[in-house]
Amino acid sequence: MAHPPSPVNPGPSRVAVVGAGMVGLSTAWFLQERGVSVTVHDRRGVAAGASWGNAGWLTPGLATPLPEPSVLTYGVRAVLSPSSPVYVPPSANPNLLRFLAKFARNSTASRWLRAMRALVPINGLSLSSFDTLVDGGVAAETLEAKSFLAAYRTAAERRVLLEELEQIRAAGQTMEFEVLDGDEAREVEPSLSDGIGAAIRLHGQRYIDPGRFVHALADAVRARGGELREGVEIADVRDAAAGVTVLTGTGGSEQYDAVVLATGTWLGRHARKFGVRSVVQAGRGYSFSVPMEHVPSGPVYFPAQRVACTPLGDRLRVAGMMEFRKPEAPLDARRIRAIAESARPLLRGADLDARQDEWVGSRPCTTDGLPLIGATRSPRVFAAGGHGMWGVTLGPATGQLLAETIVTGERPPQLAPFDPLR
Ligand SMILES: Cc1cc2nc3c(=O)[nH]c(=O)nc-3n(C[C@H](O)[C@H](O)[C@H](O)COP(=O)(O)OP(=O)(O)OC[C@H]3O[C@@H](n4cnc5c(N)ncnc54)[C@H](O)[C@@H]3O)c2cc1C
């Protein structure tokens, strides 16, 4: 049910959202739910950023902070190799080096636990906020993962995730799972090869076709009277007592009561002048889709290779890599091949040479692994981004909580750890 703004605190009536990805469009939809008129701008179009070719997992049970102790154990050599699942170019610029130094400082067990505890409350809202969108008319579905398997060559490799699941549980996040051997895993999922010797079956998680979902969300925002301006770059945002002026790359300007910056990996560009100092670094990932003899009945994860697979219709999307480079750099075909080669011995009946939809996109990564959601130094300019690996899972929950903040002027407790000015 839509909540009208309270007459005591009327809140803004016209809001501009910059960025038509999962986070920006979810925020627009939940603002409309509260009676706000929205205009969404994207310099390219709907789902033009990270929100298209990602793995589409709605996995609050696995939505953990990216800086974690095992990232450090990869070591510099692995990180520099083009076929390593985590890649840093040898010519890293000073900004990237600063990001990595801070990221490494946060990759300790105690900081990970603190960040994990901060994510638990918003993770708890993830699936219900998707249900609110679908029940409220977004014409797309979320799919229950009938099977969701993390698969390994050996039981020894599996120990890392088992330990992490213990830590996740210790932080207060519920996640049911069972431990399987290779044959049991193949019984659940015949598309796993004989190279798989151990697995974990995760319960209660879902997945989506992310491109389709975000387009349906855009259609719903339009159908409720919102305006979507595609191909419109926002060049500047200026705050004045009477409102916020949004300036376009072609010299146009328009005034709104408030603006939401949901520009993914590009968040820093406009948010910095409003006091948001946290660096948002592109953690680029790649994906493609392949035909399968037997399309899996749910996502398949190969944690040791950092490869994520998702059934999309009659094909399997295969995604992976964490490449710390500029978001504008062209797609590097070597990374696509590296993902295909690491998946090849693990999947049965996958035609990894019949690839389509080769794609690269940028996870918006922060050094502490937490998103930036809330008011900036200006009470009229809001940030919504920096979700790293989990902007799909947490996009609708972010939109719901941020719309409440913008309209009521009160920050819900779940957002306290994500203060963009931290
Ligand atoms: C390989 C891969 C797999 C992933 N798998 C998952 C997963 O399974 N589950 C999950 O939860 N997350 C996953 N993610 C992460 C997820 O994709 C991102 O966190 C999420 O899409 C970020 O959404 P966003 O709306 O913040 O940013 P984006 O989708 O990047 O949207 C930002 C938009 O802002 C626009 N923009 C930028 N600057 C301007 C400007 N100045 N003016 C106008 N427009 C502008 C861009 O064009 C873009 O469309 C994955 C990511 C990758 C790369």
- 369 Rama sector, left if φ>0, alpha if ψ -120 to 50, beta otherwise: left
pLDDT of 16 strictly over 70: yes
CA 339-295-54 angle, to 5 degrees, is: 45
Specify the ligand 1 atom closest to the Cα of 270: 41
Q: Name the DSSP class of 62.
A: G
Is 392 touching ligand 1 by the criterion CB < 6 Å? yes
pLDDT tens readout for residues 136-166? 999 999 999 988 999 999 999 999 899 999 9
pLDDT tens readout for residues 331-359? 999 999 999 999 999 999 999 999 999 99
**Mean pLDDT calculated for residue range 189-202:** 97
* Model-wide pTM > 0.75: yes
Burial environment of residue 271 by CB neighbours within 10 A (0 to 12, 13 to 18, 19 or more) = buried
Q: Where are the alpha helices (DSSP H) in 252-369?
A: 267-271, 333-343
On average, the pLDDT of the chain sits at 93
pLDDT score, position 228: 98
Specify the ligand 1 atom closest to the Cα of 23: 25
pLDDT tens readout for residues 289-330? 999 999 999 999 999 999 999 999 999 999 999 999 999 999
Specify the ligand 1 atom closest to the Cα of 364: 19
pLDDT score, position 3: 58
pLDDT of 57 strictly over 60: yes
CA of 319 to the centre of ligand 1 (A): 15
Q: How far apart are CA 376 and CA 368, in angstroms?
A: 18
pLDDT score, position 81: 67
Q: Name the DSSP class of 6.
A: P
CA 174-178-182 angle, to 5 degrees, is: 145
pLDDT tens readout for residues 249-281? 999 999 999 999 999 999 999 999 999 999 999
Q: Tokens standing for 320?
A: 């992976």
**Mean pLDDT calculated for residue range 122-132:** 98
pLDDT of 408 strictly over 70: yes
Is 256 touching ligand 1 by the criterion CB < 6 Å? no
pLDDT tens readout for residues 98-123? 888 898 899 899 999 999 999 999 99
- Which residues partner with 292 through β-bridges? 350
φ/ψ of residue 378, rounded to 5 = -90, 135
Is 262 touching ligand 1 by the criterion CB < 6 Å? yes
Is 23 touching ligand 1 by the criterion CB < 6 Å? yes
CA of 84 to the centre of ligand 1 (A): 23
pLDDT of 191 strictly over 60: yes
Is 19 touching ligand 1 by the criterion CB < 6 Å? yes
pLDDT of 185 strictly over 80: yes
Q: How far apart are CA 272 and CA 198, in angstroms?
A: 46
CA of 190 to the centre of ligand 1 (A): 32
Q: Return the percentage of the chain with pLDDT > 90, whole number.
A: 85
**Mean pLDDT calculated for residue range 36-62:** 97
3-state secondary structure at position 114: helix
- Which residues partner with 422 through β-bridges? none
pLDDT of 11 strictly over 90: no
Q: How far apart are CA 260 and CA 368, in angstroms?
A: 22
Q: Return the percentage of the chain with pLDDT > 70, whole number.
A: 95
Burial environment of residue 185 by CB neighbours within 10 A (0 to 12, 13 to 18, 19 or more) = buried
pLDDT score, position 1: 47
pLDDT score, position 39: 98
Name residue, tokens 């309209």: 407
pLDDT score, position 68: 83
pLDDT of 9 strictly over 70: no
CA of 131 to the centre of ligand 1 (A): 21
Q: Tokens standing for 190?
A: 């015949």
Pocket test for ligand 1, best of 25, 51, 130, 306 (most atoms within 8 A of CB): 51
CA of 205 to the centre of ligand 1 (A): 21
pLDDT score, position 88: 80
Is 307 touching ligand 1 by the criterion CB < 6 Å? no
State the DSSP string of 135-184: HTT-----EE-S--EEEESSHHHHHHHHHHHHHHHHTT----EEEEEHHH
CA of 21 to the centre of ligand 1 (A): 6
Residue nearest to atom 18 of ligand 1 (CA): 391
